[in-house]
Amino acid sequence: MSNEVRDPLLPDRNFISSLQSLADSLQNRVKIEEACDRVVVDCNGLLAERKESKTGGNRTAKKKVVEKISGSNTRTINHHCKRYVALKIMYFGKRFYGFASEAQMDPTIESEIFSAFEKTRLLVGDKKELQYSRCGRTDKGVSSVGQVIALLLRSSLKETDASNENSEEIVFKEQHEQEIDYVGVLNRVLPDDIRVLGWCPVPVGFSARFSCLSREYKYFFWRENLNFLAMEEAGKKFLGEHDFRNFCKMDAVNVHNYKRNITLFEICPSDVRYDGNQLLAFKIKGSAFLWHQVRCMVAVLLMIGQGLESPDVIDTLLDTEKTPRKPQYTMAPELPLVLHSCEFESIKFICSADAGLALRMHLANQCRNYQLQAAIFNDALLSCLPISSGQRSLKGTSKKKASHVPLMSRPTEPSYEERRLKLNFKTFSLSKSS
């Protein structure tokens, strides 16, 4: 017989066990009822979608969808009218890792733009429904004053289904004045080095990439002692359709045709001067460009301008039968390169008066800010100690300028055919091992 005496104030162990069993049973019942509720909600959603498809209505379920788009969390709304819109965008590319956000490197221009879409609640539907396209995929450090993207955005128009506009001819109606001020709304939340310049309604078959007729780049450089006439003579040799495999970074995996058509080459002066030196720009226009094509073209042109190469070297490099392997040379820097404009048929960008005024004031203010920075660096330059005529470098000898090795005497990269052969062999080896 046990001598243990139970405290009458403590509950019986069997009673505690019964309470625990009852609590577990109630918790399981709650989970079952919640699951049933979810099934009912899903069924109601399916019935609503089926009813909508039968009636041809344009109403969607009033719910918010959170979707990962271009590396940023984008909150989209499904119960607003929408329309297909093209946006013209400028950006100063110095601090960005390129335009596109697929490389998972931040910040990119695209990620900043989609962040602005999220803040302004302009996205309608999920990622697959946006029909998003971009005209140019500029690389790290490259700027633009004419980039174009297209996608479905929220619209304030209620009477017409702006998202199903099938007319190829863009007709500007009075109702556009009642539309959302896309330029003003987005520019209020975008960073200082990105701005929307205009917007335009476009037909649903429009693609910012494939509907583009031509792209025009500018590359700025200082005139210094460059031979202007020699560079102009050499640049004219690019005009027409040529194989530019020796003027690009070759992507043998995805690109198999290296012929591109250049329709314009000019050397344009500007009003910008510094210390007696004038700023010029190469203007190059074509239907499409290869990876780093413009920077490679400029690198060779500057060698010609310095008198290090003859203009005839352009002919030699464009002759891929005679020169199947690209000589090794360094591309021109990325910072002076600008995607200047993208040409489309029947596209006219618009901007409200208020948004246009705010845009001009912002850009003028940015110009003043950068001129102030330039003035500070110029003041620092003037404050440097003078260099005596007999001063030597730290090593005690004058720094020698690197001697130029002619392009056609340099080591070469593998040809396209050699790259493809290597890729095919690698693919065959992997398939055989598996």
Of 211, 180, 209, 212, nearest to 196 by C-alpha is 180
- CA end-to-end span of the chain: 74
Partnered with residue 267 across adjacent β-strands are: 282
Residues 6+ apart with CB under 8 A from 416: 245, 250, 252, 258, 324
User: Distance between CA atoms of 395 and 291, rounded to whole angstroms?
Assistant: 41
Query: Catalytic one among 139, 192, 193, 319?
Result: 139
3-class secondary-structure state, position 278: strand
Partnered with residue 327 across adjacent β-strands are: 412
User: Distance between CA atoms of 70 and 101, rounded to whole angstroms?
Assistant: 6
Token duo for residue 325: 């392997």
Whether residue 97 contacts residue 106, with contact meaning beta carbons closer than 8 Å, is answered with yes
Residues 6+ apart with CB under 8 A from 294: 217, 219, 284, 337
R_g of the chain computed on alpha carbons: 31
Within 10 A of 237 (CB to CB), how many other CB atoms are there? 17
User: Distance between CA atoms of 202 and 170, rounded to whole angstroms?
Assistant: 7
Element holding 301 (H helix, E strand)? helix 293-305
3-class secondary-structure state, position 162: helix
Tokens 């702006």 sit at which residue?
162
Token duo for residue 324: 């199947």
Burial (Cβ within 10 Å: 0-12, 13-18, ≥19) of residue 238 = buried
Say whether 139 is catalytic.
yes
Identify residue 159 by its one-letter amino acid code. E
Q: Give, in order, the Cα–Cα distances in Å from 87 to each of 60, 169, 243, 277, 390.
A: 25, 17, 32, 36, 58
- Per-residue DSSP letters for 270-282? EEEEETTEEEEEE
The residues annotated with a catalytic role in the active site are 139
